[in-house]
Every structure is written in structure tokens, then in C-alpha cells.
Amino acid sequence: MEFLNRYVLEIYHLLLEMSPYLLLGFLITGIMKYSIRPARMKHYLGGANFRSVFYAALLGVPMPLCSCGVIPTGVGLYRNGASKGATQSFLISTPQTGVDSIMITYSLLGLPFAVIRPIAAFLTGIAGGLLSNRLEGEKSHQYTNGGNEEAMPRGWKKLAAIFKYAFVDFMSDIAKWLLIGILIAGLISVLLPDDFFLQYLSNPYLSMLVMLLVAAPLYVCATSSVPIAAALIMKGLSPGAALVFLMAGPATNAATIAVIGNTLGKKSLLIYMSTIIAGSFVAGTIINEWFPASWFGGIIMHETHQHLLPDWLTFSSALILSLLIVYVLLMKLLRKFRGGNTAETSCSIPEVSKKNEFLIHIEGMTCQHCAMSIKKGLSSLDGVSEVVVNLESNSARVRGHIDTAQIEATIKQLGYTVKGIE
């Protein structure tokens, strides 16, 4: 019973600390979604030059996408004319951080980490992009582009769309992983002794290697990795090793590795992994060797910044965040039991024909970004009259006069696998 009480108390303090900053990050995410036009982004990312790589990293750092969402977005940019170097830069910099994770990094790890983390993501993105340009050059690639860019809502509709995307759609994508990160952080705080890493992994370089081996195969988003890193630092993990975890964890996992290798090629995958590994080690070493230990030594999750905010704000924010997590997870569960009908993402185009209808079973869809990417890709094909993507059942229904080989090729180009077509 004492263990359970301590565990609940740790989670409660963690929620108090992170909730105000996380909700603010979500709101900024919604504003970004409906303020930046994709066509304008793609305009600056063509060509194997420094400018395209720089803009791609600059775009990727604040964008709140973890690896499940960044893959279809990055592949979409590549399909629409972005160079391999710019695509690499975007794929490397984006999952490591984002406005939401920067906010939670500040709340749990302090200002130095909140500044260093996006800088490290930015520099590694540029390094990977320039290396890709150097080794692969500018290779032409042409894909279909239906030009189906969403019209930006205006007035009150825009405000409603911002809040819906921030606190429903985006929250739905990361709620499960955020909850897992909080629960793991609480377990670490309760189970591990305070001097665990000082006793067993006192060598900073060995601890960085261990963190890399642990982080690489895991699926952990930039936001959910922060409470875990904070708990590890509290138990004696060096700040450099924690940064390795924060960089490599969100940017690498088995699915990401498979999609990059399949879409951009093995050489691009080698550049991607090499940049993440080398960049995280260099950044971790710089933190350990060059920065004062006092900047990172006093991190205590439930004492760091809470005094800066009034009690009513931290408590109400924690309550709102908890209710949002419970709500989106319950909605997902209800959709699953009801057959997933309410999870369909549809896109109707001026009707051509509805004589042919295909049900495609797809492997690799994990979030709304994936569903939207597949919807737009299939909608751009000639002869397609309607596309309905069901995230819960991992399927898409396509109507129109279309060859199944085109459907399969398009889905493969987007980075997903067709398991069957009915």
C-alpha cells in the first residue's frame, strides 16, 4: 500500500508540473496547423543546397510530430518535390522536439535543457541533410500530386478548428504514449534508488551507450520521453546520457527505420541512423564536458517551476489534461467496440464512377497524420471518386475506375504496406 501511495503521489506531482506547459504547447500546435500552408513549405525545400536543408530543419524543430507522424509528412514533402537532403533534414530534426515537448522540457528539466534540445535537433538535421546532399546529390523524383490542399478556415471556424486539432485530434495521436511515459516515469521514481546510476553506470560514456541501445528500438515520442528522462536524471543519470535518450528515442524505432529504408533507400537510411547516433553522442559529450553541472544537477520534478505558477492554474491544468487523456482514450475504445465507423477519414471528389470499390488493408497506420496522408495520396489518383480511411481497422475504401497496382504503388510510396485488397 505504501508503494501504491508513493506511486500515485509521484504521478500527481508530475501532472501538476507538466500540465500548464503541455496545454500551452498543444494550443501553439493548433495555431501552427492552421497558419502554415503546406504548399509554401514545399516551395522552399527543393534543390540539393544548403538553403533547402536549413529551411527543412527550421520547419521541423517546432513542428509537433513524433516518428509516427513525421514519416508520412516527410514522405509527402519528398513526393511533392523536396530534395533528399531537405527530406533527411526534416525527418531528423522533427521527431526530436516540437513546441509541446519544448514546453514540457522547460517544466521538468529546466531552461538549459529546453534551449539545448531544439538546438541539437536543428544542428543534427542540417548535418544529416548536408551529408545526404554530398553523398547522393540531387536526384530527380516525380510523383503524382493531386493538389488537394485543404482550404484554411476563417474567423470563428478557424478558432474552433485550432482547438479541435490541438485538444482532440493531436491529443488523440499522443495520449496513449504520453500516459505510458508518465506511468514509466512514476515507476522509475519509486523503484530505483536515488544513487542507482552513480553506483552502476558512473562512466558517462557507458551510460550514453546504454541509453542509445535502450532508446533506439523503442517507440517513444518527444513529449513522453521528457518525464522518463527527468526521472532518470533524478536517479543519477548524467545530463549527457539523458540528452542521448531524448534525441535517439523519438527519432529511431523499428517502424521508422523500415519506412525510411523502403522510401528513400538504404544509403539514406545509413545517413539517417549515423547522424542520429553521432549527433546524440556529440551533444551528450558537450553537455557533460562543457556546461556547468549546476545547470542540470538540481532537477526535481515536483519542485522545479511549480512556484512560478499559482496553485489554481497548476491544479486546473492537471485536471483538464487528465480529463482530455481519459476522453480521447475512451473514444478510441468505444470506436473499436463499435467497429471503428466514427474513426473514418473520408474525402469525396467530384464523382467519376462508383462501379469499382476496393477495401485495402494497410499496415503501419498509427495516427491521424497517417490516415490523412493515405487519404490525400489515394485521392490524387486519376479515376478515384471517393476515399474513406479507417484508422481503427487499418483499412481504406476506394471507389472509382482505378487499377489496384496504382493503389498499392501509391501506398508503398507513402511508406506503408498493403496487406491485402478486396
Helix axes of 266-290 and 84-93: crossing angle, nearest 10 degrees: 40
Q: How far apart are CA 413 and CA 74, in angstroms?
A: 11
Domains of the chain: 2-325 (no CATH), 342-421 (3.30.70.100)
- In this structure, what C-alpha cell is assigned to residue 329? 482514450
Specify which residues 363 forms β-bridges with.
Answer: 417
Determine contact, residues 94/60, Cβ cutoff 8 Å.
Answer: yes
CA distance 237 to 234: 7
Q: Could you give the CA distance from residue 187 to residue 411 in angstroms, rounded to a whole number?
A: 40
Question: SS3 for 247-296, per residue?
Answer: HHHHHCCHHHHHHHHHHCCHHHHHHHHHHHHHHHHHHHHHHHHHCCHHHC
pLDDT at 247 over 70: yes
Q: Tens of pLDDT along 183-202?
A: 887 787 787 776 676 677 77
Stated as kind and residue range, the H or E segment containing 9 is helix 2-33
Q: Cell for 143?
A: 510523383
- pLDDT for residue 349 is more than 90: no
Nearest to 68 by CA among 366, 391, 273: 366
The residue that leads in pLDDT, 211 or 126, is: 126
**Distance (Å, rounded) from C-alpha 81 to C-alpha 99?**
26
The full DSSP string for 176-236 is HHHHHHHHHHHHHHHHS-TTHHHHH---HHHHHHHHHHHHTTS---TTTHHHHHHHHHHTT
What does residue 392 show for φ and ψ, rounded to 5 degrees? -65, -40
Of the listed ranges 12-16, 203-207, 343-347, the one predicted with least confidence: 343-347
pLDDT value, residue 147: 43
What span, in angstroms and rounded, lies between the C-alpha atoms of 272 and 279?
Answer: 10
Tens of pLDDT, residue by residue over 59-85, are: 888 887 666 667 666 766 776 667 888
Nearest to 221 by CA among 25, 422, 2, 17: 25
CB-based burial label for 134 (10 Å; 0-12, 13-18, 19+):
exposed
Give the chain's largest Cα–Cα span.
Answer: 69
For 67, 70, 99, 170, 187, the CA distances from 63, given in Å and listed in that order, are: 12, 9, 7, 12, 30
- What is the reported pTM? 0.67
Measured between alpha carbons, how far is 371 from 340 in angstroms, rounded to an integer?
A: 13
pLDDT at 218 > cutoff 60:
yes
Mean pLDDT of the chain: 76
For residue 282, what pLDDT is reported? 92
Cα 209 to Cα 212, 214, 230, 245: the distances in Å are 5, 9, 18, 10
Give the residue-averaged pLDDT of 322-345.
Answer: 73
8 Å CB contact between 132 and 88: yes
- E-only strand ranges, 271-373: 344-348, 357-363
Please write the tens of the pLDDT for every residue from 121-163: 999 999 999 998 888 766 544 444 444 455 667 778 888 888 8
Q: Check: CB of residue 144 under 8 Å from CB of residue 410.
A: yes
SS3 383: coil
Mean pLDDT across the stretch 298-327? 73
Please say if the pLDDT value at position 41 is more than 70: no
Three cell numbers written together for 303: 519542485
